[in-house]
Structures are given as C-alpha cells and as structure tokens.
Structure 1
Amino acid sequence: MSDLTKPATVLALDAGQTGVKTRLTRPDAAPVERLFAGVRTDQPLLPQLAAVTREAASGVPLDALAAGVSGLTSVEHDAGELRALLHDSAPGRVLLAHDSVTSYLGTLGDQHGVVVASGTGSIILAVGPAGVARVDGWGYLMGDAGSGYWLGRAALDAVMRAHDGRGPATALTEVVSSRWPELEDAYVQLQSDPAKVSVIAWFAEAVAARAATDEVAARLCRDAAEELALSVVTALRRAGADGAPVVSAIGGVFRGSLVREAFEEAVRAVHPGVRFEAPHGTGLDGAAALADLPAAHPLSALVSSAG
C-alpha cells in the first residue's frame, strides 16, 4: 500500500443487500464496527449510504469516508454527490467504489492477481500488467455463471427433468419436495415469491452437500467450477497476467469441496504455475484500504473521489 500518511479518522463501509458493515477508525480510540440493514435496490442508493454514515460516525468529524458498494451503477458512482448529501458534516474526502474493487483489496491487497467471488451472484476482477479486467457480475438474469443462484436454478431444472422423465433421477428431488410437496405447483409459487432469487440460491448448498453421492449434483458442481474457471482465465488473459498468477476464491459456493477442487484443476490446466491464496482480509478491510490506495494503482481508476 502507499506510504502516504493515512487520514486520521476514517469511516469504512462495506455495503450490500444483506447488510452494511461499518468500521470507524480513530487515532485516539479502538476501531468500532457496526452492522446496519442492507441497502434497498428499489430506492436511491446514495441517500441510504449518507444515512448510514451519519449514524455510524456518531457526530465524529471524518477525514475520510471510504465505501465499497454492491451493485453500484455508473449513475450512482459519484463521490461528489454523496459528499454533498453529507453537507452538514462532510468528510474531508469521500471515496466510492463497486464492491468488486474493495473485495479485491481486502482479499489480495494491492498485488496483481485475480479474485473470484461466488455467492448468490458471481463476479471476477483481475489486476495485471495490462490493467484491470472485470468478468461477469451481470446479475441473475444476464450472467452470474457458476454462482449460488446459477447452481440452484440448475438444480431445480434437473429435478423437473427427472420428474418429467427427461433426465436421470436425483436426490435433489427430495430437497425440492421438502419445500414444495406438490412439485407441479412449485413454479407458480416460486415465480410469485418476491424473494425468489435468494430462495433459488439456497438450493446451491444442497447441491454441494450431495455431490459425493449423487451424480446429478456432482455434474452440476463440476459445471459451476468450469464456468468460474473460464471467467478467471478470461480475466487473467485480459489483464495480461503471466504464467504464475495469484488466484483467491471467496464466497459460499467455494465451501463445496467438489466445486473448489474442480475449479482449481481447471485453472491449473491453463496456468500450471498458478498460486491459490486464502483471503488476506475482508471486504470491509478493502473499503478501509481505499483511503490510501496509491493514485498510480490500476484500481484507482475505478474509484470515484471527492474532497
């Protein structure tokens, strides 16, 4: 990281739909971490971040506010607007980035490599000699290949194929039937469920748990691993990575041993010298790191700054 002096009082935000984690760091006190309700995608984002900032700062003047935000769009990627919303107590600097950037910084720091995050969704970010490359993270309707949603959706498809006689029998049928005893009514109930994305993603854990004994579940895990490996290899190529890149895989999908093993095997087939590293920190650590990210670092171009 930079050897520049870090701002004395920093509020870091790691904002997602399931929760907003905050860390207030002051030179004269121990860091204070809090958890707030997640951001709402059906409401303007920046006012929500401003409200969390006011509550988390508790009246303490901030030298810097550094936020990593899930689903940050180009329209909302404006640190100046966020700083203006905090006009009554505007921080000296405001730094705003997509959470893929802060996830990378929290996971690998400022070194070159690639971070693949696969939970409900999936997104891959690589940093190399040619710059920064983002792959996927396009949401459940247009992307997120190999994600928890992707696995859950594939599991439901496999169950209904087995039900129709179009596919092999699978132990996943029992899992789906435990939620919807009448399988032929399941699709109607699911389509009308406002939480359908998280409901579908929930089945990914059942797929991983049955991969050792059910061939259908095993195939789905291998398919997910191949998708994630393809995204990683693509990101590394676009970032100009060398033959021994650093790869860190995070997120709930990688808790499945078959997914992780098949993923590593597929990446190693293209990059035999690859090094797989455990995360060095968290997304909240990455948000805090925005405050002293060197201006020359490739990721700086993806950070909106004001002040």
Structure 2
Amino acid sequence: MRNLAIDAGQSGLRARVIETGHQESGGRSFEVDSSAHTGIRTDLPLGEQLAGAVSTLVAEVGTVDTVAIGTTGLTGREDLSGLDVLGLLGIRQLAVAHDSVTSYLGALGAEQGAVVAAGTGVVTLAVGARDVARVDGWGNIIGDAGSAYWFGREALDAAMRAYDGRGPATTLLQRLEAEFGDVETAYIVLQTDPRRVRRVASFARWVTGADAEGDAVASEICKRGAAELACSVHAGMERVAIAATTEIAVCTIGGVFRSEAITRAFLTALRNYRSAFQHLHPRGDGLDGATAMLTLDTNSALQTRVMRIELA
C-alpha cells in the first residue's frame, strides 16, 4: 500500500509518501519535493485547495490508497466540500484534521498531555484519557494570547505609550523609531501594509531583545505573555480532567519558544497552576503527525478530532 501524508500550512505544503510492506524491510517512506506548492489561504474554500494540492502531488508520485492531511483553516466537515473528486484518482480514504492535532501527534504522539504551539498565532491542545480540548487559536482579533503577534502588538503599544507620556520609558520606543522613522505615522504604515499581521509578529524580537538588555517594560511583557500561554495549558488540562497533581507531558513548539526568557517565564507561570508536569522537546513536526494519523489507535481520544472520508 502507498499512503500520502500532507502538512498544509499558510506558508507552504510538505508531503511524504509511505509505502508499507516494501521488500524485506516492511516499509519505507520518502518526502516529496513540494516547494512549488503554495500554502493554504484561509480566505478561500479549503476543500478546493486541498483537492488541488492532492491531485498535483498524486500526479507527481503516482497512485496512493490513503491520504492524511493536517491543515490550517479547518473549522468543520463543511470545509471539506469538493474532496470527494479525489476518488477518481484511486484514493480510497481521506483522514483530515486541524494542524493542531497533527502538531500534537508529531510532538507527543498519542499520549496524554498538552502541546502549545506559539508562532505568529498560537493554539494549545490538551489530550486526556477520553477528551480533547483546543484552547485559543482564535486569531489576532479575538485571541492568540501569547503569540508572536501578541508580543509584537504589546511592544508597539508600550512604545507609543512611552512616546505619549502615558507609560514608562522603554527602549522599545527607540526600536520603533529605527523601524519607522516618523513615530506618528507608524500606525498608517502598518494599517496599509497587506502583510501587517506577519510584520507585527516580527516585532516580538524587540521584546526579547530589550528584555535581554534589562528593559523593565519588555521584561513585564515577557512575563505577561508567558502567563497567557501557561493559562491556556492549565485551562486545557482542566477541561480534559487531568488533575494538577498528575505528572503530565507538556511540549512547547514554535518560534516564540526560541526565547529562553519566555520559555523560563512560561514554566514558572505553569508551576503556579500545576505541581507536577514534565517539559518535553517535540519528537517530530506536523508532517510526522500527519503520518502518525494513518495508524492512530482507534481508542485514542484524538480520533474525535480526525475527519475520515471513504471515497471507494
């Protein structure tokens, strides 16, 4: 059998072919060069985009039996309209999940615990014996607390408060001046930038940089952002009924956690909620998680978050 695993993000796609029962080894896998494939746009129909991506990949690698996809932008089964056409390609089954699920599987496998993925946005997934809870990941307008966007937005706010005299002095103002020149027109530049979300998120580096230089305002932002992330993990654990005294695996992934200061502050804040947990490094990534979805135990609580479509 030949299966296809796909990690579909906003910045691009990654894919892997898995062949089972290959010669004496019992199987093999190889990644597909998917650099030419564009990422997922959340403002366009998801099913049509995924169908197009799968069709293109199958044309490159040949017929596959099952396709497992972890994707951004998935809100429900209605998003998968149009995928049934893939049955014409010989595909028998599709397994599709939000990329928070495949990130979890890649990072921790199917064991109980929590994975908090903090990049431009942020989402936390907690998995218990029977239940799964998604916390945040609601976008920069009504959520994503502790994301790179959140840190960048806080840096800009603190800088403008210092400029106006509404807040304490901070070197974040000097960083804003270096970036935009005229402080009073910075907001216009950002509002008219079509890539403003990514640009604001890039300013998270101002916070960690200023914190390393001893800036008190930046240090406070680091602590507040870390506390938001810890709160999300705790909320997820509560919702899946994992007691605070139970030692559980917690995995942190994403660019925000490249900052040692934020990671330390996160772990300190989490200890205020939970007396026992084990902080682990991820075992793999989202593509590894999409691959694991192909053989996910039927008793796993994560099965409730996987949509399966029989095509033939």
Query: If the TM-score is normalised by the length of the shorter chain, which range does it land in?
Result: over 0.9
1:147 aligns with 2:147: yes
Which residue is equivalent to 1:180? 180
Which residue is equivalent to 1:260? 263
* 3-state SS, counterpart of residue 248 of structure 1: strand
1:33 aligns with 2:25: no
Contact 1:253 1:259 in 2 (8 A): yes
Which residue is equivalent to 1:212? 212
Which residue is equivalent to 2:65? 63
Q: Give 1:258 shift.
A: 1.2
Q: Give 1:30 shift.
A: 4.7
1:294 aligns with 2:297: yes
Q: Give 1:241 shift.
A: 1.1
Contact 2:155 2:206 in 1 (8 A): no
The 2-side partners of 1:196 and 1:115 are apart by 27
Which aligned segments of 4 or more residues in structure 1 are displaced greater than 6 angstroms? none
Deviation larger for 11-20 or 82-91 = 82-91
Structure 1 130/87 Cα, relative in aligned 2: closer, same or farther at 3 Å?
A: closer
Could you tell me which amino acid in structure 2 is paired with residue 166 of structure 1? R
The 2-side partners of 1:232 and 1:199 are apart by 27
Could you tell me which amino acid in structure 1 is paired with residue 9 of structure 2? G
Which residue is equivalent to 2:76? 74
The 2-side partners of 1:278 and 1:59 are apart by 32
Deviations 1:159-206 (A, max 9, x none): 000110111121122222222101100111111111111010000122
Which residue is equivalent to 1:4? none
Which residue is equivalent to 2:6? 13
Contact 2:119 2:256 in 1 (8 A): yes
Deviation larger for 248-257 or 236-245 = 236-245
Which residue is equivalent to 1:192? 192
Deviations 1:47-80 (A, max 9, x none): 21112112222251111100001121225443xx
The 2-side partners of 1:12 and 1:64 are apart by 8
* 3-state SS, counterpart of residue 141 of structure 1: helix
The 1-side partners of 2:55 and 2:68 are apart by 13
The 2-side partners of 1:88 and 1:120 are apart by 37
Q: Give 1:96 shift.
A: 0.5
Contact 2:50 2:83 in 1 (8 A): no
Contact 2:130 2:300 in 1 (8 A): no
Q: Give 1:25 shift.
A: 2.0
* 3-state SS, counterpart of residue 210 of structure 1: helix
The 2-side partners of 1:147 and 1:83 are apart by 32
How many residue pairs match? The answer is 298
Deviations 1:250-299 (A, max 9, x none): 11111111110010011122222210010011100001111111222111
Q: Give 1:41 shift.
A: 2.0
TM-score (norm 2): 0.91
Q: Give 1:91 shift.
A: 1.2
**Percent identity over the alignment?**
42
Could you tell me which amino acid in structure 1 is paired with residue 32 of structure 2? E
Deviations 1:204-241 (A, max 9, x none): 12211221221111111111000000110110111111
Deviations 1:10-64 (A, max 9, x none): 1111111111111122245651233322112222111211121122222511111
TM-score (norm 1): 0.93
* 3-state SS, counterpart of residue 68 of structure 1: strand
Contact 2:47 2:83 in 1 (8 A): no
Structure 1 82/270 Cα, relative in aligned 2: closer, same or farther at 3 Å?
A: same
The 1-side partners of 2:125 and 2:107 are apart by 11
The 2-side partners of 1:9 and 1:175 are apart by 52
* 3-state SS, counterpart of residue 292 of structure 1: coil
The 2-side partners of 1:251 and 1:59 are apart by 30
Could you tell me which amino acid in structure 2 is paired with residue 33 of structure 1? V
1:247 aligns with 2:246: no
Gaps of 5+ in 1: 1-7
Could you tell me which amino acid in structure 1 is paired with residue 169 of structure 2? A
Which residue is equivalent to 2:236? 235
Aligned CA-pair RMSD = 1.5
Contact 2:190 2:196 in 1 (8 A): yes
Structure 1 82/94 Cα, relative in aligned 2: closer, same or farther at 3 Å?
A: farther
Contact 1:83 1:91 in 2 (8 A): no
Could you tell me which amino acid in structure 2 is paired with residue 151 of structure 1? F
